[in-house]
Structure 1
Amino acid sequence: MKINTVLPDESNYLKILTSIAKVPKKLHYSSTLPHDRLPTVAIIGTRRPSAYGREVTQRLSGDLAKRGVVIVSGLALGVDALAHQAALEAGGTTIAILGNALPDISPPREPRNRRDHYRKRRGYHKRI
């Protein structure tokens, strides 16, 4: 997997990030970055969702993705993984915010096929 880096003064740096209090000094990503500001919704939650939580997460994420909304979440088990999976299955785009370096995805028990699925689809990754 190729890991790219972009700095705040470069033209392809995500402009939305320059409006926050602590602008990231570097953005590490794989895949591609969006050229335009797209409608975006962040979905995060517990690693152990209830049946109702799973249903709501999958329905919300999938429905939003079908309407062109980019889904942002971590890559933790539970709600984060469900949000990405539902968006990707709906043909949408996801952005994964990671607390660790690429290409490592935590937790290590995350199924390898799911990690590979995210990498092959239109996903963006940011290390914080």
Structure 2
Amino acid sequence: LAAAPDGPPTPEELLDGVIALVPRSAVGAGLRRARDMLDYQDAGTVAAVLGNGRRTSAHDTVPFALWSAARSLGNFEEAFWLTAQAGGDVDTTCAIVGGVVAAGTAGAPPAAWLAQTEEPPGWLVPARH
């Protein structure tokens, strides 16, 4: 969904697309709540309602992570900081958000961030686009 060839979806389209794929469950209910909260500006408030991974379960992690990704499609750095400011299981929520946002054509991590990373191992073959 985030990597659609015609560009990133709207936040609503992203969450609607995911909701359509998730069976009725606590995760699905959380995603529907996340969809309803797209107009909220404060990540802490949204995390208080949806969860932020502190309980280490999918229904406490996925809805907030996808809310955060949907709010920042096309801007990896914004998505990362929006997610991190909510606290909780920050490494997991930021990993989910980073994967979703980076899947889009405009969602690459900032070049300065990439310059600070280690070189991948020699056996890793880079993806061709």
What TM-score does the superposition give when structure 2 sets the normalisation length?
0.35
What TM-score does the superposition give when structure 1 sets the normalisation length?
0.35
The structure whose residues are more often strand, as a share, is: 1
Q: Which has the larger radius of gyration?
A: 2
